[in-house]
Amino acid sequence: MIMALAVNAQRDSVLLTLDHCIQVALENNIALQQAENNALIAKSAKNQAVMNILPDLNAEWNFNLLYGTFWDNVAARQVTQQRSSNPNINSSFTVFSGLSQKHNVKSSQLNYEAAEYNIEATTLTTKTNVLTAYLAVVLDRENIGISEKRLKLLSAQLDREVKRESVGVGNMETVYNFRSQVANEKLSLTNLKNQLRSDMLTLIQLLRLDPSVRYVLEVQEENNIDLLMEPDTYSDVLDESLIASPSIKGSQASHEASIYNYKMAKSSLMPTVSLYGEIGSRYSSQGAANPENNLIPEKAPYWDQMDWNEYQFLGASVRLPIFARFQRSNNIQRAKLTMLNAELQNLQSEQNVTNTVQKVYLDLISSQESYRTAMENLNALEQSFDFVTKRYETGNTDFYTYLESLNNKNRAEIELVNARYSIIFRKKILDLYRGDQLN
């Protein structure tokens, strides 16, 4: 799979921009799809909680075969066998249950809000992960460019020293030194390319793309003014991030839902008042009394008995909980602990956002300072390297001085590149946490 990421001249390259990577990651992210499904489940539970307040309505038809000695209410006598039927329509309605239904509706609504916020939080996490993986690939590519230029320069110097030694004006020690440096740089370049393949694979796996295709990253350039622009104060950035954070909003909604779950658990200690009613009729194979003459023909037809035996009733009940093997008290205790954990999770979410913003903001400030210093340092080291190169080529300085000057210049180039892209991507991450969706 890793080898498939290498350049394939027979395949067209697929260009990946940052916006495209984010879009693909959001479309293919499994955790995000699960969060969306969980939101649909929570929405269904919310709708059901509202529907549970309404009375139920049921229609029933049955046919029974009974054997033994028992009293037949329809035939009004003792019988030993019976075929019976009792079609009916019944309904029940809970008038009062300690406000448990109201608490359930509110809890379900808040759980649905938490599920919606979880979608936003997962989206934010996905985008942040893409930015981090994208940055790693960009830095690898830039470091490879610096290493290739260094290798080209060292190889040119090696060729020069080989020629000088062949005509008797150089020495083999310098040739060996340059050969050693060229070999070291080739090894470093190989390691950087391997790191690029690894980081590119991480990005491709994050996007869930085909690793057999060759991908090329396109990086949008930022000018120096934008890079060095002073950011907003940390307190402003943090306040905006805390307000915009979907993870905090979601944990707050979950905490509020747990409060209503706790109230609902305590409602189980309250009495329940219910109304119920039924409309139906009865049939017995033993016959039924004709309301017109009060006679009981033993073979009264089914539909005649349906007409004779119609009934309707309305009832009410009050159910007072007394003892249920401590189930209610245990449920209340568990609901209370769940509520306390939800409160702690809310605090943890705020702390996580604060820690992340602190780290990214500090990295941004440090990267800007490093960028300013690296620009000044690189300008000075480039001038110094040009000067040392001329002195080395004229024989006025030794190999080690030349190599030290080259190393210093390359380190400054790497520091400048790392600081540059660190600024760009950390600004984007902070923008995400402050509510800018980027895509």
Q: Is residue 439 part of a domain?
A: no
Q: Map 268-282 to HEC letters.
A: CCCCEEEEEEEEECC
- Give the pLDDT confidence score for residue 302 in this predicted structure: 87
> Does residue 142 contact residue 417 with C-beta atoms inside 8 Å?
yes
For 154, the 3-state DSSP assignment is helix
For 75, the 3-state DSSP assignment is coil
Q: Which amino acid is at 25?
A: A
- Give the pLDDT confidence score for residue 4 in this predicted structure: 36
**What is the domain range of residue 50?**
3-433
Cα separations in angstroms, 399 against 152, 161, 165 = 17, 11, 14
Phi/psi at 6 (5° precision): -70, 165
Q: Which amino acid is at 100?
A: S
Phi/psi at 279 (5° precision): -125, 130
> Does residue 275 contact residue 314 with C-beta atoms inside 8 Å?
yes
- Give the pLDDT confidence score for residue 224 in this predicted structure: 60
> Does residue 421 contact residue 220 with C-beta atoms inside 8 Å?
no
For 221, the 3-state DSSP assignment is coil
Q: Is residue 88 part of a domain?
A: yes
Q: Is residue 438 part of a domain?
A: no
Q: Is residue 422 part of a domain?
A: yes
Q: Shortest CA distance to 250 belongs to which of 115, 109, 433, 98?
A: 115
- Give the pLDDT confidence score for residue 225 in this predicted structure: 60
Structural domain total, the chain? 1
Q: Is residue 328 part of a domain?
A: yes
Task: Output the domain CATH number for residue 9.
Answer: 1.20.1600.10
Q: Is residue 133 part of a domain?
A: yes
With residue 248 as reference, give the H or E element that holds it: helix 246-267
Q: Is residue 140 part of a domain?
A: yes
- Give the pLDDT confidence score for residue 298 in this predicted structure: 63
> Does residue 283 contact residue 305 with C-beta atoms inside 8 Å?
yes
Q: Is residue 341 part of a domain?
A: yes
For 219, the 3-state DSSP assignment is coil
pLDDT along the chain (439 residues), means of 10: 37 83 94 97 95 93 86 79 90 91 95 97 95 94 92 89 81 87 93 95 94 84 72 93 95 96 93 94 83 69 87 92 88 95 96 96 94 91 91 85 89 91 91 79
